[in-house]
């Protein structure tokens, strides 16, 4: 406790990805020494050489990490022994049958167990179902022979990182903190209180785990609701975007959510199913979660149908159409393609016989994905490419795309994000179909 409150503590961060690296940044900014650990040796080499492997964090951040005397990046687990607190930020994906894949968490907990020493605090930040910290991590850490709550300490504090949103930095967001016992909660609170705007104490790790799932399920369900409404309003020839803007003038009881081409990223399409799996254990169904999942995963098909219809109306058979996808990242202003709906949209358009190209200022090549392999590289966004395209489909509305250029040189734009609304009405010469 003394080492934490006097900021003499060294903090270990395990998993140097989209969540771990911003956390490293926050800890360093608040004067802690940080040991960053990742099993991916390439990432450690990149950190050593200042290679910016997560674009939105900026080259300056990677330069400062490379030069910092307070940061040590490593793939050597023994380096974590000197950490007073160890924060775990490893992936929590789904398995083949939508069941939680805790293999990354278990693997790194076994590693920590091997180096655990008296006085260390371990906190899990990865998103997971209630009970993981106590039922999965604790038994593995207990194998070290140390006693939880007396010799080592264990807590859960979910991450709320919002990649690509420059206005929301990790340290500005309140953090929920719950330990497996009171002393563990005290210690974790003391640490997080030093580095985030507000640390919100809850009575157990299970409450903290459930709070994170509630946050993400809330998003998934509300996005599904607005996606469903979009389908209905499209058929009624009513603009969903104008409807949302109007409803948002209500100062209470309404929070806007926006339709899109389907969910992406490492959180919203995945996390809700962690609760579904846990619910089955107590004989419960999660009908909202499953319905939202069905609606959201049907969105790429909906977009492709709209493209198909719009091409037909323009007299271009889909089997001969050239389609340009604008944006393949799962959301605006990031270089992250995980679970991106662009992959399913491209796959279905290709099956229709379309020749598909893409432009994304953040992704020069379409990365290999678990279920998709495309040999595609980003084409430049210029007048010639736009004029050659029978249809431009806005899948991701990155800010650094010239939508006025798109409006000037395209014939048909299918817009899933209302991005073309950025173009002044007098500049909109092309046909725009909102989908």
Ligand X SMILES: NC(=O)c1ccc[n+]([C@@H]2O[C@H](COP(=O)([O-])OP(=O)(O)OC[C@H]3O[C@@H](n4cnc5c(N)ncnc54)[C@H](O)[C@@H]3O)[C@@H](O)[C@H]2O)c1
Residues forming the site for ligand X (CB under 6 A): 14-20, 37-40, 43, 89-92, 104, 107-108, 126-127, 159, 161, 163, 266-267
Burial of 320 (0-12, 13-18, 19+ CB in 10 A): exposed
Q: Which residue is nearest to ligand X (CB)?
A: 17
Q: How far apart, in whole angstroms, are the C-alpha atoms of residue 250 and residue 131?
A: 38
Q: Are 296 and 271 in contact (CB under 8 A)?
A: no
Pick 128 or 410: Cβ nearer ligand X: 128
Pick 40 or 402: Cβ nearer ligand X: 40
In the bound complex, what is the minimum distance in angstroms from residue 86's beta carbon to ligand X? Answer: 11
Q: How far apart, in whole angstroms, are the C-alpha atoms of residue 34 and residue 201?
A: 24
Q: How far apart, in whole angstroms, are the C-alpha atoms of residue 373 and residue 145?
A: 46
In the bound complex, what is the minimum distance in angstroms from residue 240's beta carbon to ligand X? Answer: 26
Strand partners, 212: none
Task: Check if 267 is active-site.
Answer: yes
Pick 267 or 412: Cβ nearer ligand X: 267
Pick 104 or 288: Cβ nearer ligand X: 104
In the bound complex, what is the minimum distance in angstroms from residue 159's beta carbon to ligand X? Answer: 4
H-run or E-run covering 156 = strand 153-156
Q: How far apart, in whole angstroms, are the C-alpha atoms of residue 156 and residue 150?
A: 17
In the bound complex, what is the minimum distance in angstroms from residue 404's beta carbon to ligand X? Answer: 31
Pick 19 or 244: Cβ nearer ligand X: 19
Residues 6+ apart with CB under 8 A from 325: 342, 345, 346, 356, 357, 358, 359, 393, 395
Q: How far apart, in whole angstroms, are the C-alpha atoms of residue 279 and residue 15?
A: 28
Q: Are 85 and 11 in contact (CB under 8 A)?
A: yes
Residues 6+ apart with CB under 8 A from 58: 52
Pick 125 or 186: Cβ nearer ligand X: 125
In the bound complex, what is the minimum distance in angstroms from residue 343's beta carbon to ligand X? Answer: 17
Catalytic residue among 89, 148, 267, 391: 267
In the bound complex, what is the minimum distance in angstroms from residue 128's beta carbon to ligand X? Answer: 7
Length of the chain: 435
Active site residues per annotation: 267
């Amino acid at each position: 406790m003394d080492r934490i409150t006097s900021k003499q503590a060294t903090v270990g961060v395990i998993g140097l990805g989209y969540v771990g690296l911003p956390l490293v940044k926050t800890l360093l900014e608040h004067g802690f020494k940080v040991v960053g650990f990742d099993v991916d040796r390439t990432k450690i080499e990149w950190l050593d050489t200042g290679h910016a492997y997560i674009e939105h964090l900026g080259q300056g951040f990677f330069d400062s990490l490379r030069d910092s005397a307070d940061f040590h990046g490593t793939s050597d687990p023994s380096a974590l022994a000197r950490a007073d607190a160890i924060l775990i930020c490893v992936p929590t994906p789904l398995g083949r049958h939508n069941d939680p894949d805790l293999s990354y968490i278990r693997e790194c907990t076994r590693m920590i167990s091997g180096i655990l020493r008296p006085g260390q605090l371990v906190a899990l930040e990865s998103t997971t179902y209630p009970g993981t910290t106590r039922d999965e991590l604790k038994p593995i850490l207990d194998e070290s022979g140390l006693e939880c709550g007396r010799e080592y300490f264990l807590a859960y504090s979910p991450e709320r990182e919002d990649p690509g949103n420059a206005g929301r930095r990790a340290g500005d967001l309140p953090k929920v903190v719950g330990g497996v016992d009171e002393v563990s909660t005290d210690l974790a609170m003391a640490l997080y209180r030093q580095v985030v705007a507000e640390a919100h104490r809850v009575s157990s790790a299970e409450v903290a785990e459930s709070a994170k799932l509630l946050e993400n399920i809330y998003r998934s369900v509300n996005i599904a609701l607005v996606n469903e409404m979009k389908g209905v309003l499209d058929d009624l020839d009513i603009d969903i975007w104008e409807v949302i803007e109007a409803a948002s003038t209500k100062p209470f009881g309404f929070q806007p959510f926006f339709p899109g081409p389907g969910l992406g990223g490492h959180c919203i399409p995945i996390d809700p199913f962690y609760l579904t799996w846990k619910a089955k254990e107590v004989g419960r169904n999660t009908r909202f979660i499953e319905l939202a999942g069905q609606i959201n995963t049907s969105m790429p098909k909906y977009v492709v149908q709209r493209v198909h219809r719009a091409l037909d109306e323009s007299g271009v058979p889909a089997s001969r159409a050239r389609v340009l996808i604008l944006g393949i990242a799962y959301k605006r202003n990031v270089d992250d393609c995980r679970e991106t709906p662009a992959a399913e949209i491209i796959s279905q358009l290709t099956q229709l016989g379309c020749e598909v190209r893409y432009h994304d200022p953040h992704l020069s090549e379409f990365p290999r994905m678990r279920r998709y392999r495309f040999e595609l590289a980003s084409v430049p966004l210029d007048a010639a490419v736009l004029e050659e395209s029978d249809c431009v489909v806005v899948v991701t509305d990155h800010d650094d795309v010239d939508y006025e250029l798109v409006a000037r040189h395209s014939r048909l734009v299918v817009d899933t994000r209302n991005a073309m609304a950025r173009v002044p009405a007098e500049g909109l010469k092309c046909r725009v179909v909102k989908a």
